[in-house]
Amino acid sequence: MNTPQTQRLQRLRNDRMLAGVASGLAQYIGVDPVITRLVFVVLGLVNGMGVLFYILLWLLMPNEDADPTTNNLHTAIGEMRVIMERFLSAVRDVFQR
């Protein structure tokens, strides 16, 4: 007898705009990733909760290829650091022109 594979809430690597949170959440609940991205944007613009939820999920959701024995929090913080450094570097480049 075949048992269905348990679906996990995880960040996707192949369909990410920033960290893969929206696409992972969309896959988990069975909707298009554009819908979840729009919900995060609307909530972010309305009361800022979208940004808070996104960051919280980024910290808590493991990557799809994450080792279950590793600490996801340290991995997510490292990813955030790299993205922020790239962003700040791009901003500096714009203002130095």
Tokens (6 digits) for 20: 């893969």
- Tell me the pLDDT tens digit for each residue of 38-69: 999 999 999 888 889 988 888 888 887 777 66
User: Any idea which residue has 């913080």 for tokens?
Assistant: 77
Instruction: Give the pLDDT score at 5.
Output: 55
Instruction: Give the pLDDT score at 10.
Output: 81
pLDDT reading at 2 higher than 90: no
Determine the straight-line distance between the first and last CA of the chain, rounded to whole angstroms: 65
Instruction: Give the pLDDT score at 31.
Output: 93
CB 22 within 8 A of CB 37: yes
Sign of CA dihedral 13, 19, 47, 41: negative
pLDDT reading at 7 higher than 90: no
Q: Model's pTM, two decimal places? A: 0.70
pLDDT reading at 1 higher than 60: no
CB 22 within 8 A of CB 61: no
Rounded Cα distance between 70 and 81, Å, is: 18
- Tell me the pLDDT tens digit for each residue of 21-46: 899 999 899 999 999 999 999 999 99
The number of CA neighbours under 13 Å toward the Cβ of 66 is: 21
